Every structure is written in C-alpha cells, then in structure tokens.
C-alpha cells in the first residue's frame, strides 16, 4: 500500500472516531436534558359511606295546625295552633345495599304549640310530642346523601286550661340527610301528625304539620 493510501485510511478512521464521539456526547447530553417521568403515586379509592349503625342527635323546628284544629268557647274556629319545637332523636340504620337503607327512629319534642289568634282560647296548647317511626331511604347520587320516607306512631299531651289528656295517633313524612363527615350528618324533615279526636272542650282535631332540621352523631359500635 502506498504512503498516500495509508494516510487516507488513517484520516477516514480518525474522522469516523470523531463523529462517533460527537454523537455519543450529544446523546448523553440529550438524555440529561430529557424530563424524568415519575409514575403518580397510587391512591386507593375512598370506600362508600355506610349508614349502618346507631345514631343520636338534636333537632329544632316549627309546627302549625289547620284552621279547624279546635273551636273557641263560642263554637267557632279559634285560629291556628302553632309554635316552635325542639328535642332529641335516636335510631338505628341498616344498609341493605349500596342504594337502600332502612331503620327506626324515636324522638321527643318540647313544643310551644298553642293558640296565638283567639284571646278566649289561649289556654289550648300541646306541651310535648313524641314519635316512633320506621324509615326507608335511597342513596341515589352520593352514598352520603340519603332521601327517605318515614311513618309510625305519635303521642302528645293536649291541654285546655286545667284539663290535660294524652292522645295517640299516627305520623308520616319524609326528609333528606347528608353525612358531612364519617360520624356527623345533618337532616331536614317534614312530618304530618294526626292525633286521635279528643273530647276536650276546645279541641276539634289535633292535626299538625311540622318542619324540623337537626344533626346526628353516628356511633361505630356495630359498623
């Protein structure tokens, strides 16, 4: 091989080596500049809220009767019996499925239900009211949001001046309850109450509409 050919081979080899070194260096720099991908940390899905368990709480609201709930001393309508009410409730829920919930609830109210319209019948009032009811509801949009219906027995004290009697009847209604934390929920509820017809002088029919709001604490004993 001539000296010129040898020099050409050496030059080509040197050129190839230089190109290879340059490419390798560029690839290394590109790798350093490329963003480092990190897989997001795994988070387990939040479990659905369960309504199963014991609960207790407080409530307050307003009640009113129809215009013909009682007669005044002259035998004509004496107006409405109405007033505030408030008390305690306790119950137990059981979640049949992710959607359906059943339960029982008892409550006791002190009430200010009395006649505010007729002076001659101001003694007509209901000092207290208690109910024992079954509840059945559905959690449609959110496991923490419960829409329910309720019905059961109602008992209250009816007073007309010095005369006082306890009468039983029935109640029915419905409401909505939302669990804003694992152990606390808030509710709004409507109940219609119909107590047995009484022979007190002023009472015609003890029928009331009540609207109540309240909060419940849910115990973990049987969850």
How do the domains of the chain map onto residue ranges? 53-218
Question: Does the predicted TM-score (pTM) go above 0.85?
Answer: no
The Cα 209–Cα 152 span in angstroms is 15
Span of 5-14, 193-202, 205-214 with lowest mean pLDDT: 5-14
Residue 45, pLDDT above cutoff 50 = yes
Confidence of residue 115 (pLDDT cuts 50, 70, 90): confident
Counting residues of the chain whose pLDDT is more than 70, the rounded percentage is 64
Write down the pLDDT at residue 161.
74
Alpha-carbon distance values, 7 to 2, 4, 16, 17, 19 (Å): 9, 5, 14, 15, 18
Domain 53-218 sits in CATH at 2.40.160.20
Confidence of residue 105 (pLDDT cuts 50, 70, 90): very high
């Amino acid at each position: 091989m001539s000296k010129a050919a040898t020099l050409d081979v050496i030059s080509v080899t040197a050129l190839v080596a230089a190109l290879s070194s340059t490419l390798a260096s560029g690839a290394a720099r590109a790798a350093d500049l490329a963003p480092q991908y990190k897989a997001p940390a795994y988070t387990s899905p939040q479990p659905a809220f369960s309504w199963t368990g014991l609960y207790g709480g407080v409530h307050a609201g307003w009640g009113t009767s129809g215009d013909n709930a009682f007669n005044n001393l002259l035998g004509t309508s004496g107006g409405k019996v109405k007033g505030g009410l408030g008390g305690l409730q306790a119950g137990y829920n059981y979640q049949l499925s992710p959607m359906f919930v059943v339960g029982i609830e008892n409550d006791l109210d002190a009430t200010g239900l009395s006649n505010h319209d007729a002076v001659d019948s101001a003694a007509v009032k209901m000092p207290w009211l208690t109910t024992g009811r079954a509840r059945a509801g559905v959690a449609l949009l959110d496991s923490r949001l419960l829409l329910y219906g309720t019905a059961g027995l109602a008992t209250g004290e009816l007073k007309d001046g010095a005369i006082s009697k306890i009468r039983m009847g029935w109640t029915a209604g419905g409401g909505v309850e939302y669990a804003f934390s694992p152990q606390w929920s808030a509710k709004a509820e409507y109940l219609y109450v119909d107590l047995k017809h009484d022979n007190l002088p002023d009472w015609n029919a003890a029928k009331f509409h009540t609207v109540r709001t309240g909060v419940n604490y849910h115990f973990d004993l049987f969850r």
